[in-house]
Amino acid sequence: MRVTVCELPHQPAALQSAWATLCAHTARHSSELVVLPEFGMLDPVWVDETFDAERWVAAQHLSAAWCSRFGELAAARVVGTRPVTIGGRPFNQGFLWSPEDGLMPLRRKFFLPDEPGGWEAHWFDRGDPEFSAYYADGLSFGLNICTELWAVETYAPYAAGGVQMILSPRATAAATTAKWLSAGVVAAVRSGAFSLSSNRVDETGACGGVGWIINPAGEVMARTSPETPAVTVDIDVAQAAVARNGYPGYVFNATRQEGVSPFGVAAVQWGGDG
């Protein structure tokens, strides 16, 4: 399966060129799955402490406009996050897009930072505490949005549920890149799955790029950079099952017989058969 991760800016002038580059890359590599950064292409509203209703509505409108352009990626599936309002409450919600089915909602971010430069708890309500595994067409994935990569308690249930990929849209600083890469390695090894992550990027370093593809053995197969803002790897998802039966996966397999069960499962239809 050909999977693509990237780093993208949000500033309009830089974004237009970066988007064109990404679309050319995904078309050239016939990408089957593209992971976008957290709130990809949108203003990072969380840098301001005070929630602004007008700004929130504007972000939703801009998100809808960008979602209508996903076909330009010529990809079978696109995963990212976007601003949504449900029951009058604002959320940072994951999504899965395909040409056949359009936009389908995934889980909403639950763990929210609340500090200077990252006032997410002021902008979003807490979403779904369950970290569902999504199954379709012989593929399975979990969605851990940015900070949720540190929710290490989710990895054992992912392993028990046979999840093949953990997808993580991010908005993380350049100064903390090494730390986040370490989290991606742990996610991959403990869950026995591929870790795929894309990040925002800006010239201040507040978001530092570096998307990655890490295999279930914890090896970094590819990572993005300013010179290579998108990378694609043809992965063998069957490696996930092999990894779970190797070390350290087999050490924890006994927990399946001790009452440990995977988190809730959400069925997602990626094909066009309804």
Give the pLDDT band of residue 169 (cuts 50, 70, 90): very high
Question: Is 272 a domain residue?
Answer: no
Pick the more confident residue, 51 or 257: 51
User: What is the predicted pLDDT for the residue at 272?
Assistant: 43
Q: Where are the beta strands (DSSP E) in the chain?
A: 2-8, 33-35, 78-86, 89-98, 102-108, 133-136, 139-143, 165-170, 194-200, 212-214, 220-223, 230-234, 265-267
Tokens of 260: 């440990």
Pick the more confident residue, 272 or 3: 3
CATH number of 168's domain: 3.60.110.10
Pick the more confident residue, 18 or 251: 18
The dihedral through the CA atoms of 105, 107, 109, 110 has a sign that is positive
User: What is the predicted pLDDT for the residue at 194?
Assistant: 98
Per the CB < 8 A criterion, the answer to whether 3 and 31 are in contact is yes
Q: What is the mean pLDDT of the chain?
A: 92
pLDDT tens-digit profile of 84-123? 999 999 999 999 999 999 999 999 999 999 999 999 999 9
Segments forming the whole domain that contains residue 37:
2-267
pLDDT tens-digit profile of 116-150? 999 999 999 999 999 999 987 778 999 999 999 99
User: What is the predicted pLDDT for the residue at 254?
Assistant: 56
> What dihedral do alpha carbons 45, 103, 158, 4 form, nearest 10°?
-80
Question: Is 248 a domain residue?
Answer: yes
User: What is the predicted pLDDT for the residue at 261?
Assistant: 44
Question: Nearest to residue 197, comparing CAs of 227, 175, 220, 174?
Answer: 220
User: What is the predicted pLDDT for the residue at 262?
Assistant: 44
Average pLDDT of 2-17? 96
Question: Is 273 a domain residue?
Answer: no
Question: Is 122 a domain residue?
Answer: yes
pLDDT tens-digit profile of 244-263? 888 888 888 755 544 444 44
Question: Is 274 a domain residue?
Answer: no
User: What is the predicted pLDDT for the residue at 265?
Assistant: 45
Average pLDDT of 184-195? 97
Residue type, 36: L
Give the pLDDT band of residue 228 (cuts 50, 70, 90): very high
Per the CB < 8 A criterion, the answer to whether 63 and 82 are in contact is yes
User: What is the predicted pLDDT for the residue at 248?
Assistant: 87
Per the CB < 8 A criterion, the answer to whether 268 and 77 are in contact is no
- Would the pTM of this model clear 0.85, i.e. be above it? yes
Question: Is 21 a domain residue?
Answer: yes
In the chain, what percentage of residues exceed pLDDT 90?
84
Question: Nearest to residue 231, comparing CAs of 200, 245, 210, 206?
Answer: 210
Q: Does residue 267 have a pLDDT over 80?
A: no
Look at the block and give the residue holding tokens 């959400």: 266
Question: Is 8 a domain residue?
Answer: yes
User: What is the predicted pLDDT for the residue at 268?
Assistant: 54
Per the CB < 8 A criterion, the answer to whether 221 and 214 are in contact is yes
pLDDT tens-digit profile of 195-210? 999 999 999 999 999 9
Number of domains in the chain: 1
